[in-house]
Amino acid sequence: MILLFSHKLSEIQENVAKQNFEIEEFVYLPQELQNIWSNFDADLEKLDLEPFKKFLTSVAKSGDLVLIQGDFGACFTMVQFALECDLVPVYATTKREVFKVVENGQTVKKSIFKHRRFRRYGV
């Protein structure tokens, strides 16, 4: 599974990917690209995604899963690119559990997100 993703997978996510898709290896972005993917400049009118396309074509083979999550525009473009390259783009789904706690006399609403599954884009 190739990861165009803003952070490291959790142990639960790794286990789900291994069990459901028989993933043997997780391929993270090189640190320089990871820094860009995790922090796209919101003031840019257009994103330069060529380095990510080059990375993907250098490490992927037909049928590989690619976890794509992050900036909506970058994801849209990279999902299209992955499909053109005969790759399988997926995203992680979560279940949100909301609860209220009292902190310093004030009620605070907190959410915990729990990984549920990986889902193919377009399905």
Mean pLDDT in residue range 104-114: 86
- pLDDT computed for residue 90 by the predictor: 97
Tens digits of per-residue pLDDT, 50-74?
A: 999 999 999 999 999 999 999 999 9
Q: Is residue 79 very low, low, confident or very high in pLDDT (cuts 50, 70, 90)?
A: very high
Distance CA(41)–CA(100), nearest Å, equals 34
Dihedral angle sign, alpha carbons of residues 53, 57, 60, 62: positive
Q: What is the chain's mean pLDDT, rounded?
A: 93
> Is the distance from CB of 27 to CB of 1 less than 8 angstroms?
yes
- pLDDT computed for residue 120 by the predictor: 93
Domain residue spans in the chain? 2-120
Q: Is residue 121 very low, low, confident or very high in pLDDT (cuts 50, 70, 90)?
A: very high
Q: Does pLDDT of 118 surpass 80?
A: yes
> Is the distance from CB of 66 to CB of 60 less than 8 angstroms?
yes
Q: In angstroms, what is the C-alpha Rg of the chain?
A: 17
